[in-house]
Structure 1
Amino acid sequence: MTDQLQQVVSAVRELVPPHDLLAVYLYGSATTTGLRPYSDIDVFVVVRRPLSGRERWGLTERLLGISGAPGRPVELTVVVLGDVVPWRYPGWQEYQYGEWLREACERGEVPVGRAEPDLAVLMRMVVADGRVLAGPPAGEVLPEVPGEDVARAVAAGVPGLLGELAEDTRNVLLTLARAWVTLDTGEVVSKDAAAGWALDRIPGEPRRALEHAREVYLGEAEEDWGRVGPGRVADCAAYLAGRVRELAPSTG
């Protein structure tokens, strides 16, 4: 991870002038449970003004070369300080690159700013466990996101997750489990910890799909959803999504 992380930080420093770059943080499993076989390298960047077109292109081109095989996937998120301080939901995300965007980026599409509910979850993680790569500690830069906004964000993500179940089964099941944990306890935990918590509460057949997702995530099994069975996968996703909807805050 070290070489890739250094490359990411170098790319940010080279493309964003020092007076505009406020902070860079490593967060996620790298700073909590430790990287798992399928973990991303999660990097969060705070800047003082919106990125220029040249900076977006440059970041995208550099990340296409840094992220993914033979190394780890990189997820890099950029926010403008004035867009998140004071905090308002949904937060404005200035830029984000992840491997799910690779094909679009290789076609010449460049990530643009957008209102992003999930930014509430990311910022909660950065403030709680972010490791400084540049700038002040995260708690001195970013606000504490209210728990109700974190809850709204994880609930808002459920429809999109279910739409990706067939193509990204492991990640969808683990993320739904984490959403359930967050809504029930108020905590944002690692995916394997969330699966362990949820497995203690799931009855019967749906358990097997989440067990397999956790085993694969931890590197204890090869991914084989045919062995689990599509019916069990669908039942597990429906059960987890149902628990999330039951606990989701009212939008009325």
Structure 2
Amino acid sequence: METEEQNLQIQGVLEALASILGEAIHAVYLHGSAVSAGLQPQSDIDLLAVTGRPMSPWERQELLSRLLILSGPHPRKAKQPRCLELLVFAGTNDLMQSYPAQADFVYGEWLRPELAAGAVPGVVRDPENTLILAQVRRESVSLMGPQASSLLPAIPQETIRLAIGDALPMLLSGLPGDERNVLLTLARMWRTAQIGDFASKADAADWAVPKMPIMEADTLDYARRAYLGEIVDAWNDKQDAAHAAAEFLRDRVLECLQTTFDQ
């Protein structure tokens, strides 16, 4: 039943894109946890679309209206729809290859308060866009159009490392209230900066934990277990531990990046 509900959500997004953008849609890709390691209890359904032109104001509003209905709010409760994340990239590879990559439309549940209040997604240039493009090109499922490796640009490893460094401050600023996701994302960044691949959050934590001091390792493993649905995490009394683990992970990421840049 869970898989059927996920498929209905994905189909709803595909139908919305087709009805609103029509032949402008070149491809739609499923990526993230659904492809790499299987959806966990709080995993989003991550989608990326490529169009042949920028979206009009009417198309932005219509797509937003559909997504606000299709996507479930965060944090997800039992039997509720999953949170959706959709990035739309428009035009030629130049916009995707530019740094930071330019997305024509971004929807995610972290934006729901401002979107529900009347804001409409516009063009976004962000290092995170570059990292997502690199990950989708390497590991995704085509729901419409050619395989990602034949349509999305190849992002050089140096650009991936640059994007990791540039994305760090914004990620760390979101630690209070989003401890689990920030810690697991930092572990992924560390692994990508050192090895060059894109691992799932759980796999990145498994890789990082043995390399960490015991207290910081326990905190990251707590986040990992919560992500997998093994426990229900509560961070009110773990703020100091979360900050210590985040600082350790940040320093490891920066060390890897500095070593790369010095070479």
Q: TM-score range by the shorter chain?
A: over 0.9
Aligned mates of 1:59, 1:91 — CA distance in 2: 21
Aligned mates of 1:243, 1:5 — CA distance in 2: 37
Q: Which blocks of at least 5 consecutive residues in structure 2 are unaligned?
A: 1-5, 74-79
Instruction: Give the aligned CA root-mean-square deviation in angstroms.
Output: 1.5
- Residue in 2 that maps onto 1:88: 98
Deviations 1:16-43 (A, max 9, x none): 021x111111111111111111111000
- Residue in 2 that maps onto 1:136: 146
- Residue in 1 that maps onto 2:42: 38
Give the alignment of 1:122-201 within 5 angstroms. 122-201=132-211
Aligned mates of 2:235, 2:117 — CA distance in 1: 31
Deviation of 1:162 after TM superposition, in Å, equals 1.4
User: Contact 1:85/1:142 (CA < 8 Å) preserved in 2?
Assistant: no
Aligned length: 249
Q: Which runs of 4+ in 1 moved over 6 A?
A: none
TM-score normalised by length of structure 2? 0.91
- The counterpart of 2:247, out of the listed 218, 238, 251, is 238
TM-score normalised by length of structure 1? 0.94
One-letter amino acid of the structure 2 residue matched with residue 90 of structure 1: P
Q: Classify the secondary structure of the residue corresponding to 2:211.
A: coil
Q: Which blocks of at least 5 consecutive residues in structure 1 are unaligned?
A: none
- The counterpart of 2:226, out of the listed 216, 229, 251, is 216
Aligned mates of 1:210, 1:74 — CA distance in 2: 25
Aligned mates of 1:26, 1:81 — CA distance in 2: 20
Do the aligned partners of residues 85 and 54 (structure 1) sit closer, same or farther apart at CA in structure 2, a change above 3 Å counting? closer
Aligned mates of 2:236, 2:57 — CA distance in 1: 44
Aligned mates of 1:13, 1:140 — CA distance in 2: 21
User: Contact 2:29/2:148 (CA < 8 Å) preserved in 1?
Assistant: yes
- The counterpart of 2:7, out of the listed 2, 6, 31, is 2
Greater alpha carbon shift after TM alignment, 206-215 vs 111-120: 111-120
Aligned mates of 1:81, 1:131 — CA distance in 2: 21
Q: Classify the secondary structure of the residue corresponding to 1:205.
A: helix
Provide the identity percentage: 37
Q: Structure 1 or 2: larger helix share?
A: 2
Give the alignment of 1:34-73 within 5 angstroms. 34-69=38-73, 70-73=80-83
User: Contact 1:24/1:133 (CA < 8 Å) preserved in 2?
Assistant: yes
